[in-house]
Structure formats: C-alpha cells, structure tokens
Amino acid sequence: MKLATIRHAGSTTAALVVGDAFQPLPAGNLSDLLGMPAWKQIVSEAASEHPGLAAVPASDVEILNPVPTPAKVICCGLNYSDHILEMGRDLPAYPTLFAKFADTLTDPDAQIVADESVDLDWEAELAVVVGTTLQNAREDEAAAAIAGYTVANDISMRDWQRRTLQWLQGKAFDRTTPLGPVMVTADEINPEAGLEVICTLNGTEVQRGNTKTLVFSAAKLLSYISTFTILRPGDVVLTGTPGGVGMGMNPPLFLKDGDELITEIPGIGTLRNIVRTRVTADL
Amino acid sequence: MKLATIRHAGSTTAALVVGDAFQPLPAGNLSDLLGMPAWKQIVSEAASEHPGLAAVPASDVEILNPVPTPAKVICCGLNYSDHILEMGRDLPAYPTLFAKFADTLTDPDAQIVADESVDLDWEAELAVVVGTTLQNAREDEAAAAIAGYTVANDISMRDWQRRTLQWLQGKAFDRTTPLGPVMVTADEINPEAGLEVICTLNGTEVQRGNTKTLVFSAAKLLSYISTFTILRPGDVVLTGTPGGVGMGMNPPLFLKDGDELITEIPGIGTLRNIVRTRVTADL
C-alpha cells in the first residue's frame, strides 16, 4: 500500500493511495497515524471496507511531506560502495551517522531555497520510516519494525559541511530535504532485493545506484541505531546516497538558481524540486 | 530566578525555587512552561504575588531534568581554547556543531548506565535554554532570546565517537547527558563575565574552565545556529567543554563502574552522577 500526507480543501490529512485518488485516513498526517498503535489495522480497513468510496481525485490534492514530525531523523553518510570510493574513503566497518531535524524536511515538490550556500549539492536517497518502537533490536526485529519506504534528497551545503569536522550545519538547513511523495509499506517492496535510486539534474542523469549495494541495509541501520537510542513510530532514517554527487565531479558541479532536480525510486515515486539560490549560471 | 522541573507527591511540575523550597508553576515541566508565550509573566507573578505560600520543601521533592522535551539539542564541540589545544586542534573560525536528542538527556542525579562503551569520558558544560523563537538572529537578538542557563555533562562514548568521522553515535546514547539541577534565568547570570565550569571525579578535580574563555559565546552560538535552523522555546544548546577530559590525559583515563562524577557551575548548581558500566577497576 501507498500512504501519503495530503492537503485537500484547506485541511491536511493522512491518506491511502487508491489508484489515482487519495482516501483520507483518520489522522492529521502520516506521522500522527504511525503514532497510533492500531495504524496497520486502520489502513487495512480503509483499504478493504469501502475502497475508493470517499477518495479525493489526485487533481484536487496537494501532496506534502508524508512524515512531517519525526522526533528523530538519522542519516547514514557513506553507504554505497561507489559513492564511498568517489569520496576517496575505505569501506566502513560501522555506519557513519548524523542527524537532521524535522524542520529540515520539506514537501516532495517544494522549492529548495538556499541563499546562504554557494556549494549546494544533491544526494538521492532511500528513506526508511519506523513503524514500531525499537530498542536494542536484532536485525530481524528491526526489519519487522519498518513501516515503509520513501524517497529523499539529502541536499547538502558542502561549504557549510566542510567548515568543521561535523557535518550537521551543512545538512540541517530548514526545508532543504524533500521527502515523499508517498510511503510504500514494507510488505510491498524490498530494498535488499534491489531498488534503483536515480537523480536527474536539468534532464541529465547524475546518479543511479541500487539499494542492493548498500553496505548497511535498512534493517542493519535500524538495529545499529537502536543500540544507542530508541526509535519510535514515525522516526526517519536516510540510508545514504550512491555515487554521482556534484562535489565528486571533476571539476565539482554545484546547484544554481532555477535548477530542476528530479529524485526517483521506481516503485515509490518521484520528487521534483526547483532550486532557489543566489548562485546563477553567470557566476 | 531559578526554575526547575520536580516530582512531588507522584506528579511532575515546573517550579520556581524559593529559598529552600519549590513553588509549583502551572505547567507539567519547564519545557511546557517555556512553550507558553506568557512564561515570563507567569513566573514573575508566582514570584511576587504569594512568594513561598504554596511552596514544597526541598526534602519532599525529586529534582528532574529541567527541560525534558526539547525539539532540538545542539552541541558545540570545540569551544574552550585550552580543550581545543589538548585535543591537538587549531582555534576554529566556525563552531563545530552536532546534535543530541531529547532522549539523550537525563536527571541531574541520574545513574549513567553505559554498558555498550568501554571508553566513557566526561565533558562538563554550560547549557543554554532558548526562551524565544530565533531565525536568522543577530547576536544581540540571540542574547535577548536566552531563557536561562543550566549545567550539563556531555558524557561521551569515545570508542563509538571514533568509529566514524561523525560523532553522533558516541554522543547520543539514551539517558547519558545529565542536565540541571535548575535553570537560572538569563537576567541573573552572565557567562561572558565568567562562570566557572568544574568537573570532579571521585573527589579529584579533573576540569575547571571559565565561560569567559569560550571562543563562541552563548549568544554567538544561537545566532549562528539560527542561520540554518529555527530555534524555539525550550531548545537546548550545549556550549562545549573546557580542558581536562579523560581522553586528553596521558595515559587516557576513562570512567569505570561506580565512579562518582560531580559537575558544577557555581551560581547554577551541581550534577551528581554515578556511572554504571561493565568496566571495573580491575580491567
């Protein structure tokens, strides 16, 4: 099943995707829905009892960031072997982890406004949404606790990221990580079997990776993180980006005003974001 | 004024410290109180109208982490010139920032349970609590938005911190950063004029720094952070630790089971924490 957070007729709601329409669910957004212990049952009943009956056509709907209020957004920094090698690093024994905030996230078609950065870069990623509380979880327990998957672009301010040893300030600008458009439930797709992760800049493909080459799978990441901090329903984990980021190019290529960034994982969906920055093509 | 979050007669409340007693305030904790736009007025009225009338004696009270639910906990990593030099680094042009979670925080007298780490280290710190929303704030605006100050110990798992380039996993073990015992309002103390930050291990002083030697003042940190992410009432910023941490010693000294750690900022108060870890003196 595909779940979303939508705005319709002036209000916001969690919704089940039914064909080309959205069936509202009894929660203000998907974060709130996942916070309900019976969320799976609520979704199943909505899907089976009156399928499509109260659905709103896609044309009347604005699709928002599906999970707007995670208490934790934890990201894995170097997780695709090709990206690790392009950054000049060795394959890791442990996942490199850093945090973002709920405020860092934005809608799947949001403009990315970044006037403070001149080295703005893309990072297409698979994002995992937690469905059940996890503490010191084994990998199989972590796998069973995944609510679903969505698409993210961990847009990074490389100039800020490189100011100090810690990446946070280059990774946590408000409203710069688009997420969505939907969360596909974990029973429907399997990243370990392979999902393509594709990023296109102004019509040119710049990244194409496959989640089967992740050094740390979604379940491994959740298990590892749950060793030191509790994960709760609605928390989001970004699994890292494949090769092809701008700073890895020779010469490096960064985003400029008006650039169109398309981030896609077939089977989940597509983010489409226009960049707004004071960096223009003439610079 | 000194504000706290206390447990008394089975319930938790924000409270004003009145001499040796605690006067309950109309909020479940100090985080909730700071979320009320009129929090300063509520505190002023409690302090002036019936001072001490409904106060609970300290002996009947358990003092908790004053701000248990910050949406953001942001820490500055290298901020005292002596600590920076002991870690073998240059004085920084920008603050090194990383995140913790609300779950990382714990009570001022909590046991610190850390069975997963063998290189457990201390970092006595001044913590700043935000009182007004800040976005792209100048330094004077940031200074005016500080609700108050409290004491923290950024207890760090150096083995986990060093596993990768990013420190998060060594800094964000649940319930390992004690905070408190009170928040002193910003009108009563001035870190730029100088506050001693002292850490004592089993009766031996290991750290003594002064906040007037901070490279980035509390207001500078809040102003800088607010450039990339909004800060809201109740958010917490840790300002870094002075020299004298265990990993800087020759040979390095790490915490073992039963160690008593006292963290003190005179004028604010004292944290007293016993360490529980599988590392014993015999190791």
What's the structural domain count of chain B? 2
Residue among B76, B135, B168, B232 with most chain A CBs within 10 A, to mutate: B168
What pLDDT digit, counting tens, does each position of A209-266 carry?
999 999 999 999 999 999 999 999 999 999 999 999 999 899 999 999 999 999 999 9
* Residue B276 CB-density burial (10 A; 0-12 exposed, 13-18 middle, 19+ buried): middle
- Interface pTM, i.e. ipTM: 0.95
Tell whether the model's pLDDT for residue A146 goes beyond 70: yes
Residues A89 and A225 in one domain: yes
Give residue B217's pLDDT: 96
Q: Do A174 and B230 touch (CB under 8 A)?
A: yes
State which amino acid sits at residue A215.
V
Residues A59 and A154 in one domain: no
State which amino acid sits at residue A234.
G
The answer to the question of residue A250 being in a domain is yes
Residues A163 and A259 in one domain: yes
Reported as a pLDDT band with limits 50, 70 and 90, residue A40 is very high
**Mean pLDDT calculated for residue range B206-219:** 96
Domain boundary among A42, A64, A86: A64
Residue among A161, A167, A168 with most chain B CBs within 10 A, to mutate: A168
Tell whether the model's pLDDT for residue B51 goes beyond 60: no
State both tokens at B262: 């006292």
CB-based contact A126:A207 (threshold 8 Å): no
State which amino acid sits at residue B199.
C
The answer to the question of residue B265 being in a domain is yes
Residues A129 and A264 in one domain: yes
CB-based contact B70:B5 (threshold 8 Å): no
Residues A9 and A36 in one domain: yes
Residues A60 and A138 in one domain: no
From residue B259, give the alpha-carbon distance in Å to each of A25, A49, B272: 52, 60, 11
Which among B72, B75, B154 is positioned nearest to A71, based on CA atoms? B72
Higher pLDDT, B164 or B87: B164
Domain boundary among B37, B64, B91: B64
State both tokens at B155: 């207890």
What DSSP element (H or E) covers A31? helix A30-34
The answer to the question of residue A281 being in a domain is no
What is the pLDDT of chain B when averaged over all its residues? 94
State which amino acid sits at residue A150.
T
Tell whether the model's pLDDT for residue B87 goes beyond 80: no
**From B74, B97, B116, residue closest to A228, measured CB to CB:** B116
**Mean pLDDT calculated for residue range B172-185:** 98
State both tokens at B243: 């020299």
Nearest residue on chain B to A225, alpha-carbon basis:
B169
In angstroms, the CA A154 to CA A262 distance is: 13
Nearest residue on chain A to B92, alpha-carbon basis:
A164
- Provide φ and ψ at B84, rounded to 5°: -60, -45
From residue A145, give the alpha-carbon distance in Å to each of A219, A234, A238: 9, 11, 16
Tell whether the model's pLDDT for residue A48 goes beyond 90: no
> Number of residue pairs across A and B with CB atoms under 8 Å?
92
Nearest residue on chain A to B75, alpha-carbon basis:
A168
* Residues in CB range of B62: below 8 A, 6 or more apart: B6, B7, B8
In angstroms, the CA B256 to CA B280 distance is: 5
Residues B99 and B192 in one domain: yes
Nearest residue on chain A to B160, alpha-carbon basis:
A94
CATH of the domain at A211: 3.90.850.10
Q: Please report which residue ranges of B18-175 form alpha helices under DSSP H.
A: 30-34, 39-48, 81-86, 139-144, 158-161, 168-171
The answer to the question of residue A282 being in a domain is no
Q: 3-class SS at B83?
A: helix
State both tokens at B79: 């901020």
Q: Do B71 and A102 touch (CB under 8 A)?
A: yes
By mean pLDDT, which of A8-22, A210-224, B72-86 is the weakest?
B72-86
**From B102, B166, B174, residue closest to A228, measured CB to CB:** B174
**Mean pLDDT calculated for residue range A91-119:** 95
Give residue A158's pLDDT: 96
**From A71, A96, A102, residue closest to B165, measured CB to CB:** A96
Residues A180 and A209 in one domain: yes
What's the sign of the alpha-carbon dihedral B260, B261, B265, B271? negative
- Provide φ and ψ at A215, rounded to 5°: -65, -45
The answer to the question of residue B282 being in a domain is no
Tell me which residues of chain B have a C-beta less than 8 Å from any C-beta of chain A.
71-72, 74, 77, 92-99, 101-104, 116, 157, 160, 163-169, 172-174, 225, 227-230
Residue among A104, A161, A166 with most chain B CBs within 10 A, to mutate: A166
Give residue A51's pLDDT: 57
Domain boundary among A44, A64, A84: A64
In angstroms, the CA B280 to CA A83 distance is: 41
What pLDDT digit, counting tens, does each position of B142-166 carry?
999 999 999 999 999 999 999 999 9
Phi-psi region of A202 (alpha: psi -120 to 50; beta: other; left: phi over 0): left
Residues B87 and B216 in one domain: yes
Give residue A193's pLDDT: 94
Residues B112 and B26 in one domain: no
DSSP conformation class of A134: B
- Using the structure block, give the residue that is written with the tokens 């360490």: B275
Residues B171 and B261 in one domain: yes
Nearest residue on chain A to B175, alpha-carbon basis:
A229
State both tokens at A152: 């993210």
In angstroms, the CA A127 to CA A70 distance is: 13
DSSP conformation class of A283: -
What DSSP element (H or E) covers A185? strand A177-185
From residue A253, give the alpha-carbon distance in Å to each of A1, A118, A244: 37, 11, 10
Nearest residue on chain A to B95, alpha-carbon basis:
A164
Residue among A89, A228, A230 with most chain B CBs within 10 A, to mutate: A228
Tell whether the model's pLDDT for residue B282 goes beyond 70: no
In angstroms, the CA A158 to CA A156 distance is: 6
**From B94, B164, B174, residue closest to A229, measured CB to CB:** B174
Residues A240 and A142 in one domain: yes
State which amino acid sits at residue B268.
I
CB-based contact A16:A61 (threshold 8 Å): no
User: Which residue range forms the structural domain that includes residue B88?
Assistant: 73-276
The answer to the question of residue B110 being in a domain is yes
CB-based contact A240:A76 (threshold 8 Å): yes
Q: 3-class SS at A231?
A: strand
Beta strands B11-18; B21-24: pairing state: antiparallel
The answer to the question of residue A20 being in a domain is yes
Tell whether the model's pLDDT for residue A117 goes beyond 80: yes
**Which residues of chain A have a CB within 8 Å of the CB of B134?**
none
Which among A134, A141, A143 is positioned nearest to A229, based on CA atoms? A134
What pLDDT digit, counting tens, does each position of A162-189 carry?
999 999 999 999 999 999 999 999 999 9
Phi-psi region of B187 (alpha: psi -120 to 50; beta: other; left: phi over 0): alpha
Which among A218, A186, A210, A201 is positioned nearest to A253, based on CA atoms? A201
State both tokens at A216: 């740390």
The answer to the question of residue A155 being in a domain is yes
Tell me which residues of chain A have a C-beta less than 8 Å from any C-beta of chain B.
71-72, 74, 77, 92-99, 101-104, 116, 157, 160, 163-169, 172-174, 225, 227-230
